[in-house]
Amino acid sequence: MEFTAVALIIVSAFTHAGWNLLGKHEHPSTAFFLVATVIGTLVLSPVVLPVAPTVMLFPPSVWLPLALGGLFQCLYYTSLSAAYRCGELSVVYPIARAFPLVFVALGSFLLGRGDAISATCLAGGAFFMAGCFVLPQASFGDIRPGGYLNRTSATALVVALCTVGYSMADDHCIRLISPLTDQGISSFRLSLLYLLVQNLTSIGFMLLMVLFRTEGRQRLRHTVTRRLKNAAVTGIGVSGTYSLVLTAMNFASDVTYVVAFRQLSIPVGALMGMGILKESRTAPKFVGIGIMSVGLVLVAMG
């Protein structure tokens, strides 16, 4: 990755951990993230509207993967909400963030782009997986399969799969529309325009999930009347984070590096959970986070 990509991803990692901390604190729902996404999109709009007509230049091949990306984004928020309602940030967040590296790397190999991934990066991925094995356990003296066969681990894994889905879709779409920079549009603004369109797609899917369920409508009213400020902060954090990531994709040889280096947020998020939310502080958590940090260094070196 170029230095620009590294700098953008470092900033996005801290921002990502921050909005997840706020989301966990709010015991979120799909309705909460619906409101957050709407507000984040509105904040994004003034920057994007001057280049909005460029959407008409998007190639037809973009729209299907873009819609799939929006669907995966919707499912991501739904599963993330479920994970945070039943598990700790310091457990859910590292698992949900580390597994996409392996899945995306596998996808890159299947798509014939495996030669862009170095052995050092793959070694870093192995360390991430090892950290995920250790982290959920209550103690080193009681490591057992039951430590993973629970709702927290299952929902965190679904979050990871959804992350892979929209990351692969976004990478594909960004590459398809990148030639539009020849029209005099900066890669940053083009990425923001793509993000706005994807947000609108995700909002559409979330509206279907929220408005057609009584519980969803109740949670939506609760969010608007009592949690609007925190939803706004979360939405701005989400849009800000992913706009940086989308831009970073323009300066990396493969999306795997972007997804991998973003894992800097893993130790940050886990430490926030233990330090700010006062979650349990077990030896496996600290060791697991340490192993993942080694993996992060290997990815950066790769």
Q: What is the pLDDT of residues 195-234, one digit of tens each?
A: 899 999 999 999 999 999 999 999 999 999 989 999 999 9
Q: How confident is the model at residue 171 (pLDDT cuts 50, 70, 90)?
A: confident
Q: Report pTM.
A: 0.84
Q: 3-state DSSP call for residue 146?
A: helix
* Residue 111 pLDDT greater than 70, yes or no: no
CA distances from 108 to 38, 115, 121, 157, 176 (A): 32, 9, 13, 19, 17
Q: Kindly report, residue by residue over 235-263, the tens digit of the pLDDT.
A: 999 888 877 777 777 676 666 666 666 77
pLDDT at 170 exceeding the cut of 90 = no
More confident residue, 67 or 282: 67
Contacts with 43 (C-beta within 8 Å, 6 or more apart), sequence order: 235, 236, 239
Average pLDDT of every residue of the chain: 84
DSSP label at 278?
-
- CA 43, chain centre distance (Å): 19
CA angle 69, 79, 32 (to 5 degrees): 90
Residue 234, token pair as written in the block: 């979360």
Of 28, 48, 34, which Cα lies nearest the Cα of 243? 48
Beta strands in the chain (DSSP E): none
- For residue 141, pLDDT beyond 90: no
